[in-house]
């Protein structure tokens, strides 16, 4: 699946933007603040979730616009198949509610995952390995979602049940025990599904990474660990999870949060060549591991799902030396599919192998070249 046409209306600094695209590499260049990352963010909204910035919907509306915003894409899967129309945005009457349409019909945001797998890498993610466990879980769940579109639905229902259980535990003595048990059964069902999908994704991704060379991009060794940093060696069974939540009611009530479960797990990464924890590696090594991971994941999705994800790589080329930059371009071109890259200078993309579609972005305006 590739985006053949992208249309933005009152999105960030783009009042009315139209772009035609095709398979291969798309290079977007322009000054800082021109709106390059905004285009990638718009594309990221064509997948379940809050997009690459995780911003509030109201923040995406163009300054001075009187309505909401709209993102529309025509997606193709080849000459023999009809294109699919994907759209999302908000309307003035409901500024906090996201609207999703697929071929003109209303749909849940989670349904977008059935059509497009999208993965991104942004400068804000460069410190992923030294930031919070929550950020790494969200990154892992994005990897999982590209392989299993149902993962978003399990995650949403798990979070809803977790919030409802937390409200009951705030006054445990008078809590409806039957309702509490029901919520914990929901947590167990969706938590077990989430955990199974995460572990299956890590197993497939680790196998893909093992087949990749250590250079020019550093290869990470990935492990799912619990809140104490201990490796998760078995998949959660729903019955075991249900018993865990029931046994920890008083502990969780005192802590004011659920202290154990899949929502507390973390993604651990180790530099394969040196054996050092990713958090202790240099900034360059961490960036290289992220690139290696994203590229291997693209191959993994293509192999297991039969559909290569769309890659959104924001300002990636500027932080690579010429050798690694050329290796990245060759790898992306060799993979096929569609990859969108941004940079401040057109020269960064001068040696890209074809096919390449080039755009100059300036002040919310988009021009070929």
Domain ranges of the chain: 1-117+307-369
Report how far residue 7's alpha carbon sits from residue 70's, in angstroms, rounded to the nearest whole number: 8
- Tell me the mean pLDDT in the region 231-253: 96
Spatial strand order in the sheet of 14-20: 14-20, 2-11, 69-76, 84-91, 94-102, 105-106
Q: How confident is the model at residue 96 (pLDDT cuts 50, 70, 90)?
A: confident
The yes-or-no verdict on residue 318 having pLDDT over 90 is: no
The yes-or-no verdict on residue 125 having pLDDT over 90 is: yes
The yes-or-no verdict on residue 174 having pLDDT over 80 is: yes
pLDDT of residue 67: 83
Which has the minimum average pLDDT: 12-16, 42-46, 179-183, 362-366?
A: 362-366
- Whether 289 and 129 have beta carbons less than 8 Å apart is answered as yes
- Tell me the mean pLDDT in the region 317-329: 89
CA distances (Å), 147 to each of 56, 197, 347, in order? 26, 9, 35
Higher pLDDT, 67 or 175: 175
pLDDT of residue 274: 94
Q: How confident is the model at residue 212 (pLDDT cuts 50, 70, 90)?
A: confident
pLDDT of residue 23: 87
pLDDT of residue 215: 78
pLDDT of residue 112: 95
Q: How confident is the model at residue 89 (pLDDT cuts 50, 70, 90)?
A: very high
The yes-or-no verdict on residue 336 having pLDDT over 90 is: no
CATH among 3.40.50.300, 3.90.220.20, 3.20.20.70, 3.50.90.10 for 1-117+307-369: 3.40.50.300
Q: What percentage of the chain has pLDDT greater than the value 70?
A: 99
pLDDT of residue 54: 93
Parallel/antiparallel/unpaired status of strands 356-362 and 365-368: antiparallel
pLDDT of residue 3: 95
pLDDT of residue 38: 97
Dihedral over Cα of 7, 11, 13, 15: its sign: positive
- Tell me the mean pLDDT in the region 287-297: 94
Q: What token pair was written down for 94?
A: 């409901």
pLDDT in tens, 8-50: 999 999 999 999 998 899 999 999 999 999 999 999 999 999 9
pLDDT of residue 301: 95
Report how far residue 70's alpha carbon sits from residue 4's, in angstroms, rounded to the nearest whole number: 17
- Tell me the mean pLDDT in the region 293-313: 94
The yes-or-no verdict on residue 81 having pLDDT over 80 is: no
Higher pLDDT, 251 or 322: 251
């Amino acid at each position: 699946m590739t985006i053949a046409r992208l249309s933005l209306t009152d999105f960030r600094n783009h009042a009315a933007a139209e772009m035609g695209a095709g398979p291969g590499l798309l290079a977007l260049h322009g000054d800082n603040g021109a709106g390059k990352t905004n285009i990638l963010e718009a594309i990221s909204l064509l997948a379940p979730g809050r997009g690459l910035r995780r911003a509030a919907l109201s923040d995406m509306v163009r300054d001075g616009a009187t309505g909401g915003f709209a993102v529309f894409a025509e997606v193709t899967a080849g000459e023999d198949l009809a294109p699919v129309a994907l759209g999302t945005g908000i309307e003035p009457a409901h500024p906090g509610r996201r609207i999703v349409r697929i071929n003109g019909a209303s749909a849940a945001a989670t349904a977008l995952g059935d059509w497009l797998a999208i993965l991104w890498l942004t400068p804000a993610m460069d410190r992923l390995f030294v930031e919070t466990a929550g950020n790494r879980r969200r990154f892992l769940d994005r990897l999982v979602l590209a392989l299993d579109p149902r993962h978003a639905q399990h995650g949403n229902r798990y979070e809803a049940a977790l919030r409802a259980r937390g409200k009951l535990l705030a006054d445990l003595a008078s809590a409806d025990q039957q309702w509490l048990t029901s919520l914990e059964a929901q947590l167990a069902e969706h938590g077990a599904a989430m955990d199974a999908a995460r572990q299956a994704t890590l197993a497939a991704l680790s196998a893909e990474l093992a087949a990749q060379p250590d250079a020019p991009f550093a290869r990470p060794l990935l492990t799912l660990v619990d809140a104490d940093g201990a490796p998760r060696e078995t998949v959660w069974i729903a019955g075991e999870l249900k018993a865990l939540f029931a046994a920890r009611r008083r502990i969780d009530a005192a802590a004011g949060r659920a202290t154990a479960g899949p929502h507390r797990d973390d993604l651990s990464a180790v530099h394969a060549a040196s054996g050092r924890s990713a958090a202790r590696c240099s900034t360059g090594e961490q960036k290289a591991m992220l690139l290696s991971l994203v590229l291997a994941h693209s191959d993994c999705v293509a192999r297991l799902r039969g559909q290569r994800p769309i890659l959104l790589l924001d300002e990636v080329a500027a932080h690579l030396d010429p050798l690694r930059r050329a290796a990245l371009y060759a790898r992306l071109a060799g993979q096929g599919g569609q990859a969108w890259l941004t940079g401040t200078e057109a020269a960064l993309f001068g040696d890209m192998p074809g096919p390449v579609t080039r755009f100059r972005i300036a002040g919310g305006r988009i021009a070929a070249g």
